């Protein structure tokens, strides 16, 4: 149990630092970082509101309380992406994503898309008094899995494959034409950011693929997956929210500098929001 609470602590504290850094320092108020901020808020909410109840469910065995398209344009359309992907547009896009997720999640329940399982589906080990066990039919599980994971995951993989190919082509062209050093540094920064986000996407797919695979298979084997295995897969997927701040800290020099300023309390000084984070 202490291990689970340690995971929660790292998830909440790590993503809190990401949120504070991007919200406080003006230099980080860019469309890319707003997408990172949205992801950090999602991870923070998962660590603060989803993981703690999951600890109780895991230990007690029952529950008794009843940025990616922006980076694509930055690499593939460098001459027009700044005019198209403004901060206002990015905020609208984030709002739409959160709204659609809420509509989809609540709609699944209130429209009766989920069907409550009969007690005879569960054996004595899985059924407990006071539990709220909601399952879906085979068709609804396949549809919801496609909409929430498999289709978005496939789109992200295809986009980053395109980003990689274009970035390699532009790097080759850059060497051949001997462009100015400033443009070369800028292009390297964009490429590094694309690679970092690709690692974030890869970590997401790596952590969440097992539980969604199990999710699709479960109804076809009459929900006979061991409860312990389900709990392990759920917690493995949750750790994706724990990994992300460490990925930022490893790849982003600006995040390490912002983290140092936050820990030392420098953000409480006047004009600290204007500190230069990208100086060499």
Does 253 fall in a domain? yes
pTM over 0.85: no
Q: Packing angle between helix 31-45 and helix 87-110, nearest 10 degrees?
A: 30
* pLDDT of 56: 67
CATH number, position 95: 1.20.1070.10
Name the most confidently modeled range: 104-113, 184-193, 199-208, 217-226.
199-208
Does 168 fall in a domain? yes
Q: What is the mean pLDDT of residues 65-75?
A: 59
Give CA–CA dist 131/53, Å, rounded: 13
Does 280 fall in a domain? no
Does 279 fall in a domain? no
User: For the ranges 42-46, 105-109, 117-121, which has the lowest average pLDDT?
Assistant: 117-121
Does 161 fall in a domain? yes
Domain that holds residue 99: 2-274
Residue environment code for 17-38, b if the CB has 16+ CB neighbours within 10 A, otherwise e: bbbbbbebbebbeebbbbbbbb
- Cα–Cα–Cα angle for 70, 73, 74, rounded to 5 degrees: 85
- Smallest CA-to-CA distance from 154 within 204, 191, 105, 107 is with 204
pLDDT of 212-234, one tens digit each? 888 888 877 777 778 788 888 88
Give CA–CA dist 43/244, Å, rounded: 8
Does residue 10 contact residue 46 with C-beta atoms inside 8 Å?
A: no
Does residue 88 contact residue 175 with C-beta atoms inside 8 Å?
A: no
pLDDT at residue 80 tops 90: no
Number of domain units in the chain? 1
């Amino acid at each position: 149990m202490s291990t689970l609470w340690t995971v929660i602590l790292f998830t909440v504290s790590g993503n809190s630092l990401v949120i504070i850094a991007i919200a406080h320092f003006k230099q980080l108020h860019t469309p890319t970082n707003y997408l990172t901020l949205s992801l950090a808020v999602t991870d923070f909410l998962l660590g603060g509101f989803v993981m703690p109840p999951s600890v109780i469910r895991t230990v007690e065995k029952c529950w008794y309380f009843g940025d990616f398209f922006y980076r694509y344009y930055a690499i593939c359309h460098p001459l027009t992406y700044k005019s198209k992907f403004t901060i206002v547009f990015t905020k609208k896009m984030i709002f739409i994503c959160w709204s659609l997720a809420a509509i989809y999640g609540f709609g699944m329940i209130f429209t009766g898309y989920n069907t409550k399982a009969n007690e005879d589906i569960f054996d004595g080990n899985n059924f407990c008094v006071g539990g709220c066990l909601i399952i879906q039919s085979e068709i609804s599980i396949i549809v919801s899995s496609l909409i929430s994971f498999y289709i978005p995951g496939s789109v992200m993989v295809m986009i980053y494959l395109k980003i990689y190919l274009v970035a390699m082509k532009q790097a080759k062209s850059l060497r051949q034409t001997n462009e100015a050093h400033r443009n070369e540094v800028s292009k390297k920064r964009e490429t590094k950011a694309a690679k970092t986000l690709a690692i974030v996407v890869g970590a997401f797919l790596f952590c969440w693929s097992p539980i969604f695979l199990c999710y699709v298979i479960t109804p076809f084997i009459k929900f006979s997956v061991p409860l312990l295995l389900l709990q392990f897969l759920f917690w493995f997927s949750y750790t994706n929210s724990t990994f992300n701040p460490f990925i930022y800290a490893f790849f982003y020099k600006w995040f390490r500098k912002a983290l140092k300023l936050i820990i030392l309390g420098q953000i409480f000084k006047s004009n600290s929001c204007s500190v230069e984070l990208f100086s060499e």
